[in-house]
């Protein structure tokens, strides 16, 4: 749902720029967009709530659902119970579903088992309690299994994990076929958002930025994933918990987004400042040129 670009709403639902000087100055924050250029406030609210949850988990102040029983996802990743769709346990799932693209595309309930988060989905029993999140983050065996799940889904999307240490990714050999599937079936955008949220919650925060950067390149620079573009901008970028990395991703998006006057994912003041910095840098480097902002 798209709503008007309310300044107060953006301050409430997007903390990305709150540490910037002048952020609270509404005259500096004000925007003059075209009618079609409106921020998805529902998305901004959702991702802000998610990042707040992550911060509370990291600093130990999150006590939501502390008294709930250990979730089924935790037991699934501990290999104690099967995935309820076909009775497979986690290791069998990895072995039998890897590369089975038809099944991965058309079966919808598995994603909540593979990438558990704190939010309710189709299967409410798969919701992770705060206690379960803490247990998962401390268990190296479960985290190894989560990494296998991540590789399985990357392969489904035509992406290859280059480094388990850094999270760097690149196109897989079969990327053309898999990208075509992504463009046909946009429900995968929701799945990718869930995967990014799960990575941030369960100890793979450093994997978020490389994956989002990959999608920004493919959507804004190479133009190979046009039907993923809106989700990258509204959701994927704002799933990145690390604020400094999130800012750099937004600035990268600004460089390649056209038309510039319809870029609504950061305050205009930030855009003008950044584009001036890029313009100066272009005189000394080979950074691709971006459209000059009319500051008049």
Distance, in Å, from the CA atom of 252 to the CA atom of 265, rounded to the nearest integer, reads 11
Contacts of 31 (CB under 8 A, 6+ apart): 5, 7, 264, 267, 268
Query: Which residue from 189, 56, 236 is spatially nearest to 134, judged by alpha carbons?
Result: 56
Q: 73 is in which domain, residue-wise? A: 41-266
Report the pLDDT value the prediction gives residue 170, as an integer from 0 to 100.
98
Report the pLDDT value the prediction gives residue 286, as an integer from 0 to 100.
59
Report the pLDDT value the prediction gives residue 33, as an integer from 0 to 100.
38
**Structural domain total, the chain:** 1
* 189 occurs within a structural domain: yes
Distance, in Å, from the CA atom of 279 to the CA atom of 289, rounded to the nearest integer, reads 8
* 3 occurs within a structural domain: no
Report the pLDDT value the prediction gives residue 1, as an integer from 0 to 100.
38
* 8 occurs within a structural domain: no
* 2 occurs within a structural domain: no
DSSP conformation class of 220: I
* 19 occurs within a structural domain: no
First to last CA, the chain: 32
Query: Which residue from 112, 96, 98 is spatially nearest to 87, judged by alpha carbons?
Result: 96
Report the pLDDT value the prediction gives residue 2, as an integer from 0 to 100.
41
Report the pLDDT value the prediction gives residue 65, as an integer from 0 to 100.
53
Distance, in Å, from the CA atom of 99 to the CA atom of 155, rounded to the nearest integer, reads 7
Report the pLDDT value the prediction gives residue 19, as an integer from 0 to 100.
77
* 282 occurs within a structural domain: no
The residues of the chain scoring below 70 in pLDDT are 1-12, 21-37, 62-70, 84-85, 121-126, 285-296
Give residue for tokens 């250029």.
Answer: 37
* E runs forming strands in the chain: 159-161, 169-171
Give residue for tokens 């990718």.
Answer: 192
* 244 occurs within a structural domain: yes
Distance, in Å, from the CA atom of 182 to the CA atom of 179, rounded to the nearest integer, reads 5
Angular region, 87: left φ>0, alpha ψ -120 to 50, beta rest: left
* 28 occurs within a structural domain: no
Report the pLDDT value the prediction gives residue 61, as an integer from 0 to 100.
74
CB 204 within 8 A of CB 164: no
């Amino acid at each position: 749902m798209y709503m008007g670009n309310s300044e107060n709403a953006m301050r409430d639902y997007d903390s990305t720029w709150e540490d910037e000087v002048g952020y609270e100055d509404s005259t500096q924050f004000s925007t003059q967009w075209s009618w079609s250029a409106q921020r998805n406030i529902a998305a901004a609210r959702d991702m802000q709530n998610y990042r707040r949850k992550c911060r509370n988990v990291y600093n130990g102040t999150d006590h939501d659902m502390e008294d709930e029983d250990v979730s089924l996802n935790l037991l699934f990743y501990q290999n104690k119970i099967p995935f309820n769709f076909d009775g497979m346990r986690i290791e069998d799932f990895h072995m039998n579903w890897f590369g089975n693209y038809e099944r991965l595309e058309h079966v919808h309930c598995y994603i909540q088992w593979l990438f558990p988060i704190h939010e309710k989905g189709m299967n409410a029993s798969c919701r992770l309690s705060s206690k379960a999140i803490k247990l998962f983050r401390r268990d190296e065996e479960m985290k190894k299994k989560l990494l296998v799940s991540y590789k399985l889904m990357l392969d489904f999307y035509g992406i290859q994990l280059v480094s388990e240490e850094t999270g760097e990714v690149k196109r897989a050999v079969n990327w053309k076929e898999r990208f075509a599937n992504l463009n046909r079936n946009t429900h995968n955008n929701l799945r990718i958002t869930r995967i990014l949220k799960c990575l941030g919650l369960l100890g793979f925060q450093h994997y978020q930025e490389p994956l989002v950067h990959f999608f920004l390149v493919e959507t804004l620079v190479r133009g190979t994933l046009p039907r993923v573009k809106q989700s990258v901008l509204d959701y994927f970028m704002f799933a990145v918990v690390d604020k400094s990395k999130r800012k750099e991703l937004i600035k990268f998006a600004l460089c390649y987004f056209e038309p510039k006057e319809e870029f609504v994912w950061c305050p205009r003041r930030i855009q003008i400042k950044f584009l001036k910095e890029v313009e100066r840098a272009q005189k000394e480097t080979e950074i691709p040129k971006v459209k000059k902002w009319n500051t008049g």
